[in-house]
Structure 1
Amino acid sequence: MRKRARRTPELPDLGTHLAEGPAEIGSGDRLEGLVLGATTQSPMRLHDLALVECRVQGMDLSGRRLGGFMARDVVFEGCDLAGTVLEPGGRLTRVRFDGCRLSGLVLVGVDLTDVVIEGGKADLANFRQAAATRLWGREVSLREADFTEAQLKDCAFLDCDLAGAEFRGATLSGVSLHGSAIEEIRSPSVLARGARIAPDQQFAYGQALLAEFGPEVSDRPDT
């Protein structure tokens, strides 16, 4: 019998013993089995940084530019990645963002597998042309997030604010939007191919389609 494909994200495996990380990280570092904290310093531009089986707590990575970044089995807790840019070719595998500030985070062309965003804010996050498998958002604001031409497979955005989120040209397969605000979503017609919504979201989806295609809604003219 063929094994049923997994649709929920695989959790990060951090191991049982994590050592304290260095006071400063830099380009080319491979950090494995470490805890990085709020006092950990980093330059504004990093190349070929790899995090493996790490816990990152309260670290300020806002505005950083990360080229060749790789994270596997990593948990970010209460971190600030607002405006951070992960350059195309980056890879996140079994990564969790818990209560993080991700506003304006740029993930254009990044490979995302088993990534969970729980709580916090990801307004204006840019997922253009990202390849995402089992990317899950739970109770997170994704207002005006950009998923243009992204490939989304077995993803879910549950109880999220998707007002103004753009899905133009995206490819969806098994994407769940249950409990999320979708009435102001952009390019909602894309959702007709590969998205799932709850029965009580049908009216909101209809509103979004009406906004996309028209016709104009107005009062009856007087005769």
Structure 2
Amino acid sequence: MAGEGEPAGARHVAIIMDGNGRWAKKRRLPRAVGHQRGVEAVRRMVRGAADFGLEALTIYAFSTENWRRPDEEISDLMSLMKKFIMSDLEEFVENNVRLKIIGDYKAFAPDVVELIEHALARTADNTGVMLAVALNYGSQDEIARAAAKAAAIGAITPEAIEAALDTAEMPPLDLLIRTSGEVRLSNFLLWQAAYAELYFVDVLWPDFTADHLKEALDAFAARERRYGGR
């Protein structure tokens, strides 16, 4: 059950989208095909977020550590990102989805940066679900940047750091989901997850459906959130 004074429904859900490579390997397909199917799962989650009344959905798309992957795979991921933005932007606009980026997306190639900034501008006035995409994101880097900003104004407090995080304008994180059976946070939303509920599922990301999201939300609603109290 929800804790005293807490709504049963989640407002902000984050997902570590894990398992694209293993999905492809199981089917003897190139990793790129797994990533393509992963994009289809993202589309399902954005639509599901609206259907289930979420205010915000944050997805881990490209971490600061992903630069260590082979150049060919990084190139495939960048191509997929561009295709996703170009193909889905109008749907975001029509469905009142507001796009947000967390992390340093300006480290990408100029054509990718231009597409991202165009999408951000096109959806800036939307008031529906906020889709935050973590790009070139690492939580330790985010916390370090936020602490530096707090220090610059002479107030290194939890409140000052939180106000300087990439997610500052978003609702507090309620539920963090990781697919594929891995049970770790992988440098994702470490600060924000301090009192979030964690949900790990064995399903590989390309197979994750709106029904799986609903199961996670139902499990969240059944938990009692104590925030350190009794």
Structure (1 or 2) with the larger CA radius of gyration: 1
TM-score range, shorter chain: under 0.3
Determine which structure has greater relative contact order: mean sequence separation of CA pairs < 8 Å that are 6+ residues apart, divided by chain length: 2
TM-score (norm 1): 0.24
Instruction: Report the TM-score when normalising by structure 2.
Output: 0.24
